[in-house]
Structure 1
Amino acid sequence: MSFTRCSLFSRQSSSDHSPSLLFTGLRWTFGAIALSLGAIAAVNTIITARTPPMGPRLNGLFGRYPARYGDLAYAIGGEGPPIVLVHSLDPGQSSASWRAVFDLLADDFTVYAFDWQGYGLSDPNPEGLNAREFGAQLRDFIRDIVGTKATVIAHGSAAPLVLEAAESGQINGLILVCPDGSAPDEPRQTERAEFLAQKEISDRLLEFPIIGTAVLNWWRSKPNLEREAHEFALWDKSQVENEARLWHVAAHQKGAQRAQKALLKGRFAAPWRELWKNSSTPALLVWGRHARGFESASEWGALRPDASLQVVENALLMPQLDAPQEFAGFVSEWVKKHTE
């Protein structure tokens, strides 16, 4: 049986110009790649140049805490027992996600809201930080700025980090809002090599300066963020456009891509089931009735039957924005009842 050669070479004898044709083909190939990368780089530059700077988005006093790996930006308001508000780790998230309830809670409590490193107005996070080191930011913030035990209200993907910090004994109450512990399951042994190889490839791809940034720019693009806000975050669709705009600005601040890469690489994963099950800190779980992941409430409840559950009707993943008065009301009642 014979095989037909590729037409590029089948028309040439060994003494003809196949090397030059190959070189020409490679030159055109790499030229096309260079043009594509150049276009991506230009888009990345334009997006960066057009992103306006952020300013404080919460009322109250603004401060900066010199944490171990850089400053944490925070706001403080009100008087009373301390509450610390902790935003999720998704692109564009910041302490601004608490703006609708910050003043309401400040009527009864001293309220702190900070930006994780790499988010909002805080300094960029160094490369390689993991969930335990991020959790230490919260633990140190409570120790040095709050100065006493505090109730922590954590949103979404920040829940595992807060559970890491809760082991320190500095948290006397946990309120987890639509907690997301969605670290990928450990692959079976027969699939582990393939899983690790795929992860290595994807991690390396994210580190290519132009391609990696292009991937992030798609992830944090305005259309993608608007879709997330519309389909998953907000029941009140009148808030979607403004919320997506706030996310888009925050997601493109200088240095924000480091934290976003860390999230994509799974560096913020933590053994949340073990941490949650073994925790004795009084806890309240909050979900929007129509939130993605609401079905996992049963698992969280089964792991800790002593935890309370509050369901907010007509809310998705951000009940603090969909129903701020209701949210502040039941949070205030629970904190007064369950914490020292």
Structure 2
Amino acid sequence: MKKKIKNFTLLLVITTILIFLINKVINFMANFKDHLPRGNGKYFVWRYGDIYYTKKGKGSPVLLIHDMEPYSSAYEWNKVINHLARNNTVYAIDLLGCGRSDKPNLTYTNYMYVQLVNDFIQNVIGEKTHVITTGTSISFVVMACQIEPDHFGKLIAVSPADLYELAQSPDRHSSIAKYLIELPIIGTLIYNFLMSKNTILNMLIDDCYYKGHLVSDNTLNSYYHSAHLNNGQGKYLLASINGHYTNINIVPALKKINNSICLIGGKEHDHMDEIIDEYKSFNSSIESAYISNSKYLPQMENPEKFLELVNIILHS
């Protein structure tokens, strides 16, 4: 019996060491080359961690906020930021837990990002700001706008998240998922599997782009690199997302805010028209528009049409 316990313990130790080494190799290979553009960026020293951002152009300020996912970063705006900067001062940030920003070991909540946006506008930008978001990031921007309406000008949401999914709160199953991903070695392996290059490529082709062949190697490498910067510390954001801690019911705030809101969807994105109609049912003043030949990321797949539409919204 003692021999069996000894052999099992030895096997467990060897397996743990092997998994640890696999994680190290994956992170080394993912970070071997820097694929994220720097663009003379700076860091906003914030209470929960340093926030990387870039600033370009002159004019009324516009803040670009990428989707709230560990693989996302300000690279999402790479094809449109220079053009937007012709007539605006454009700020693009990497959210906490993403890209070049810090990725601390904590529970990420929607209200934490509400604080981040309001603090960034107040302390870095310093004046009323138009905000453009992607995906779930619209949730904390709407909440931030409700709290500090004077900070915000027009709100533009690209592929806004489903309101029902945003309202899901933590439960037993989601808490277990969070716990597993946060585990020191096994959790990192799970994260590396979920953020593998093939998984990210399939996500971009199947979910984000209407024409999958437009996904460039540079785009894939940038998303993959963003997910694995800081030795896979992005797993703590993923754990909080899967645990539903980043969710919030924004319907009450949607009903109250008076800012101009425009929702932009890719015409080929399944069910996006239903999602946008749901938003409009709670606030009849919300406007919407669709961009053809695009899916979840029209700013990357059809940047010319995206810029044409956004410029009309910003300067109307």
Contact 2:35–2:222 under 8 Å retained in 1: no
**Which residue of the other structure, out of 255, 260, 263, is the alignment partner of 1:282?**
260
Q: CA deviation at 1:49?
A: 1.8
TM score, norm. by length of structure 2: 0.90
Q: 83-92 or 290-299: which moved more?
A: 290-299
Q: CA deviation at 1:74?
A: 0.8
Deviations along 1:295-334, one digit per CA (max 9) or x if unpaired, are 3122112122211111011101100011111111111111
Q: 1:62 to 1:109 in 2, by over 3 A?
A: same
Q: CA deviation at 1:39?
A: 2.7
Which residue number corresponds to residue 291 of structure 1?
Answer: 269
Contact 1:54–1:121 under 8 Å retained in 2: no
The alignment partner of 1:311 has SS state of: strand
Q: 119-128 or 249-258: which moved more?
A: 119-128
Q: 1:54 to 1:184 in 2, by over 3 A?
A: farther
Deviations along 1:206-232, one digit per CA (max 9) or x if unpaired, are 232111111111111101000000001
Give the Cα separation in 1 of the matches to 2:286 and 2:49.
34
Where structure 2 has 5 or more consecutive residues not aligned to the other structure, the ranges are none
Q: CA deviation at 1:183?
A: 3.1
TM score, norm. by length of structure 1: 0.84
Q: CA deviation at 1:175?
A: 0.3
**Which residue of the other structure, out of 140, 156, 177, is the alignment partner of 1:175?**
156
Q: 1:317 to 1:258 in 2, by over 3 A?
A: same
Q: Report matched runs for 1:151-300 at 5 Å.
A: 151-167=130-146, 168-169=148-149, 170-181=151-162, 182-183=165-166, 185=168, 196-236=171-211, 237-254=213-230, 255-294=233-272, 295-300=274-279
Contact 1:288–1:311 under 8 Å retained in 2: yes
Q: 1:219 to 1:55 in 2, by over 3 A?
A: closer
Contact 1:292–1:317 under 8 Å retained in 2: no
Q: CA deviation at 1:54?
A: 4.0
**Which residue of the other structure, out of 314, 319, 322, is the alignment partner of 2:293?**
314
Contact 2:65–2:132 under 8 Å retained in 1: yes
Which residue number corresponds to residue 190 of structure 1?
Answer: none
Give the Cα separation in 2 of the matches to 1:304 and 1:137.
25
Deviations along 1:99-155, one digit per CA (max 9) or x if unpaired, are 100011111111110111121111223512311111111111111111110110011
Q: CA deviation at 1:68?
A: 2.0
Q: Percent identity?
A: 22
Segments of 4+ moved more than 6 angstroms: none
Larger relative CO (CA 8 A, sep 6+): 1 or 2?
2
Q: Report matched runs for 1:100-115 at 5 Å.
A: 100-115=79-94
The alignment partner of 2:288 has SS state of: strand
Which residue number corresponds to residue 116 of structure 2?
Answer: 137
The alignment partner of 2:315 has SS state of: helix
Give the Cα separation in 2 of the matches to 1:127 and 1:241.
32
Which residue number corresponds to residue 5 of structure 1?
Answer: none
Give the Cα separation in 1 of the matches to 2:216 and 2:256.
38
Q: 285-294 or 311-320: which moved more?
A: 285-294
Give the Cα separation in 1 of the matches to 2:139 and 2:67.
10
Which residue number corresponds to residue 124 of structure 1?
Answer: 103
Residue identity in the other structure for 1:251:
A
Which residue number corresponds to residue 303 of structure 1?
Answer: 282
Residue identity in the other structure for 1:177:
V
